[in-house]
Amino acid sequence: MSSPASGSAIASSLRIASRRSQLALVQTHWVRDELAKAHPGLEISIEAMATQGDKILDVALAKIGDKGLFTKELEAQMLLDRADIAVHSLKDLPTNLPEGLMLGCITERENPADALVVHEKHRDQTLASLPEGSVVGTSSLRRLAQLRHHYPQLIFKDVRGNVITRLEKLDAGEYDCLILAAAGLGRLGLGDRIHELIDASISLHAVGQGALGIECRLGDQAVLEQIKVLEHQPTARRCLAERAFLRQLEGGCQVPIGVNTAFEGDELVLTGMVASLYGLRLIRDQSRGPQDDPEAIGLALAHSLRAQGAGEILEEIFATVRPEA
């Protein structure tokens, strides 16, 4: 990530663009409060808005496009100089950003695992022991493919809306369980709803899951100087490897691509997965290398999976879920 030029003038105000969902605002308020602590006297304002992904709730995400569903409107505010930064769940931020914008900061990651949340009647069950025919709610093709691969006896049903809305649908009996991000539940103060953390051997998480990405204008050194205090280098290295892997596979957030990253001594280890829509084919491999060159690790893993047939799987998926013109 770019370093601010020495002697950069630091602005006295900062405008943040955010989605208006409850989780997005919790995340944005955390960024605001941390920046306020780091920069006393800095005037910070928040402009909250609905994105395309927030507005269209009756269509599966994969059917309405997979790039920038939750980010384009926020990015437009920065390009029009109506906002200085945008706060995203990093998993929602495409790996290729609009011209003139950059990923300026990655915050410390919360637990990136997927979590099982169950209806009360299944409180004594685990994911592996749910009765045959149990209805699992998820809007993620990544989760869907991996869980279908391991638990073909379960029924999977799309679920949309914010986290609270999804939990209300679960509690009303529309689903037997939901698969949600543990980090989001924790940030909303709903960690007690986590029934089981799903092991990485079953479900690799989304690229960037659990971290926040702060996007800003390319070359805006004053803003970079302000936000760099929130950068968490270990998280950034893990997420840069993951994003390079996804970028090389040319996959958006709505394709069955999963990852897991860990540090082993001086090395960064990246595990990646590409699966077919119904989980019948699942290719998984691992790459490792020096921590200070995370993108090379991601690129190497992408090339390895392509050599094993990942490209053909993704082409089939794009042809199936690509939105109509």
Q: Are 297 and 242 in contact (CB under 8 A)?
A: no
Does residue 81 carry a catalytic annotation? no
How far apart are the C-alpha atoms of 92 and 88, rounded to whole Å? 7
Residue type, 53: G
How far apart are the C-alpha atoms of 22 and 257, rounded to whole Å? 27
Q: Which ranges constitute the DSSP H helices of 179-282?
A: 182-187, 221-227, 233-249
Regarding beta strands 177-181 and 114-118, do their DSSP bridges make them parallel or antiparallel, or are they unpaired?
antiparallel
How far apart are the C-alpha atoms of 298 and 301, rounded to whole Å? 5
How far apart are the C-alpha atoms of 131 and 135, rounded to whole Å? 9
**How many contiguous H segments (helices) and E segments (strands) does the chain have?**
10, 13
Residue whose structure tokens are 């089981």: 196
Regarding beta strands 267-275 and 282-290, do their DSSP bridges make them parallel or antiparallel, or are they unpaired?
antiparallel
Q: Of 54, 66, 84, 92, which is the active-site residue?
A: 92
DSSP 8-class letter at 266 = T
Q: Which residues contact 117 (CB under 8 A, 6 or more apart)?
A: 167, 170, 177, 178, 179, 180, 185, 193, 194, 195
Catalytic residue numbers, as ranges: 92
